[in-house]
Amino acid sequence: MDSGEKLVVDFGDYFAHKYSDEHLVRLLQFHKADKGPLLYMLDNQHGDERVKRVFQLCTKVWELKEAHERRANKRRQTRVALHKELFAAIEEALLLLNRIAERETQWLLYPLFVVASELVREALYMSRVLKLSDEYVERCGRSVHRSFTLCLNDRNPVRGENRRTAVYMFMNLEFKVYHLLGNRDMVKNLIKVIKSRHEDAADPLVPCEQSLAAQYPAQVATYHYFMGEYYGCYENEYGPAAEHLLLALGECSPAQGHQAQIARILVLLVPFAMLSRRAYPRAEAIDAMLTPPEGPAGTTRTKVKVKRTRSMEMVQTVYRAAAQAFATGNVGAYRALIQPPENQMWFLRRGVYVAMLLLEELVLLRRVVLCHHYAGGPSIVPLGLLCAGLSAQQMDTRMLECALANLINKGYIRGYLSHGNQCMVVSKTGPFPPAQPGK
C-alpha cells in the first residue's frame, strides 16, 4: 500500500524493513497536539523486545498527554508530575533507540534525532518553565551525547550507510543543552572533537552541507549559528564567526516566519561583520528580513504571526544607529549607544559586549580616515587637525595620542606618532590598510 494512503501503521514494519517515513516521524513528534489520524499498532509477532518497549513508551507518552488534556485540575504539582513521567518515558525510548541504532545504518537516524529533540524540548520546558533543577537537563545531555558518539564513532566504510552523516544534527542538540546549562567548556570540547575529525587525513568528516543535515535547512542554520557564536563570543575570531553566521542567515526564510531566528543571527552577525569586513547590512535589507510576510493578495488571511522580540528591536534601533555612527565616524554618537547600562547588560547577555567595545576603535579610525581625506591626504597630519575634527567628541590631544598609538599598534594605520612635533606621520601609499576579513 502507498504510504500516503495508510490508515493503520505497523511500528514493527519500519524495523523489519529498515526504513522510515513521515508517519513514523509523526508518531515520535510528541510536542505536537496529537499524533494525527492514523492508528499505530505493533504486530504481536514482532520479536525484538526493545522495539516492543519503544512502542509501549510512545503509546504511554501520547496517553499521558491526552489524559492531562482531559483533566480539569492543572495545578503546578500535577504538571510537574506529568512532565517528570513524560521525561522518563522519552528518555527510556531514546536510550533503547540508541542501542538499536548501534546496529543499524542511516535509516533510523532521523527518527532517533526526532526523539532526542523531544527529550531536549522536555528538559528545556522543565528547566525554563517549571523551574526544576538542572538534573533533567544533565540527564538529557548524557542521552543525547550517546546518540552523538554512536554516529561520530561509526567506522562503516560504506558512505551510504555510515552514521557519521547525522553528527551535526546531534551536535546542534548538544549545543542547546550546554547553553541551557551555561557550560561553555562543553561547547568548546564538542567543537574541538569535530575540528579534529575534520582534520583527520585518513577519513575526514564531511562538512555540514554534505551531511544528512543538508536535507534540513533548519539544522544547517542552527549549526552555523552556534559555530558563529563560538568563534565570535568565545574566541573573539570575528572573521570565521561572520562567515558562519552569514551561512546561517542564508538558510532562513522570512516567508516562513523565521523573523525571531533572523534577529538572533543579526545580533551577532552585525557587530562581527563590522569588525572583520568593515561592512554592515543595509537598513532596508534588515527591515525586509524582519517584516512578517503578508497573506496571499486578495485573501483575508492575516500575516504569519511573529512575536516582536527584544533582539528585533535592538537590531532595528541600536544597531542601525551604530552603523550610522560607524559610517560617519561619529565617536560621540557611538559612545552614547554603548554606554547606557541597560544596553551594556543586553550586549553582555548576548555575548557581543567585547565586540561592541572594539568597534569604538573602528569608529574612531573612520573619523581619522575622513579627517585625513578632507585635509587633502597629507603624509604629515598635525594632531591639532585631528583634534579639530574630534572637538565635538570630547577627546583632547592626550587621549587622541593614546587612541592613535593603539590604532597604529593594531595595524589599522601605517605610520608613527611624533610626540615632539605633535603630528602623525603616515605612509604615502596606503596609510589605512583594508580589512582582512579572515581574521
Closer residue to another protein in complex, CB, 204/433? 433
> Least distance (Å) from another protein to the CB of residue 13?
24
Torsion of CA 365, 367, 372, 373, to 10 degrees: 110
Distance between CA atoms of 314 and 310, rounded to whole angstroms?
6
Closer residue to another protein in complex, CB, 155/305? 305
> Taking Cα atoms as reference points, which of 263, 349, 269 lies closest to residue 307?
263
Distance between CA atoms of 51 and 129, rounded to whole angstroms?
32
Provide the residue type at 397 as one letter: T
List residues bridging with 425 in a β-sheet: 380, 416
> Least distance (Å) from another protein to the CB of residue 68?
22
Closer residue to another protein in complex, CB, 51/265? 265
> Least distance (Å) from another protein to the CB of residue 103?
25
Q: Residue 418 carries which DSSP code?
A: E
> Least distance (Å) from another protein to the CB of residue 285?
5
Look at the block and give the residue holding cell 492543572.
74
Residue 184, C-beta contacts closer than 8 angstroms, at least 6 positions apart:
178, 234
Distance between CA atoms of 14 and 19, rounded to whole angstroms?
5
Closer residue to another protein in complex, CB, 145/258? 258
Cβ–Cβ < 8 Å for 381, 333:
no
Strand order in the sheet with 415-418: 380-382, 423-426, 415-418
Closer residue to another protein in complex, CB, 327/402? 327
Cβ–Cβ < 8 Å for 318, 312:
no
> Least distance (Å) from another protein to the CB of residue 114?
9
> Least distance (Å) from another protein to the CB of residue 257?
6
> Least distance (Å) from another protein to the CB of residue 302?
17
> Taking Cα atoms as reference points, which of 98, 144, 96 lies closest to residue 120?
144
430 alpha carbon, distance to own chain's centre: 37
Burial zone of 74 (CB within 10 Å; 0-12 exposed, 13-18 middle, 19+ buried): exposed
Closer residue to another protein in complex, CB, 351/354? 351
> Taking Cα atoms as reference points, which of 48, 123, 68, 44 lies closest to residue 91?
123
Cβ–Cβ < 8 Å for 213, 248:
no
Distance between CA atoms of 55 and 34, rounded to whole angstroms?
16
Residues written for the chain: 439
List residues bridging with 416 in a β-sheet: 425
Closer residue to another protein in complex, CB, 130/369? 369
> Least distance (Å) from another protein to the CB of residue 207?
16
DSSP letter for each residue of 343-357: HHHHHHHHT-HHHHH
Closer residue to another protein in complex, CB, 65/179? 179
Look at the block and give the residue holding cell 510528541.
30
> Least distance (Å) from another protein to the CB of residue 53?
27
> Least distance (Å) from another protein to the CB of residue 73?
29
Closer residue to another protein in complex, CB, 98/172? 172
> Taking Cα atoms as reference points, which of 63, 60, 134 lies closest to residue 93?
60
Closer residue to another protein in complex, CB, 98/261? 261
Closer residue to another protein in complex, CB, 51/242? 242
> Least distance (Å) from another protein to the CB of residue 203?
28
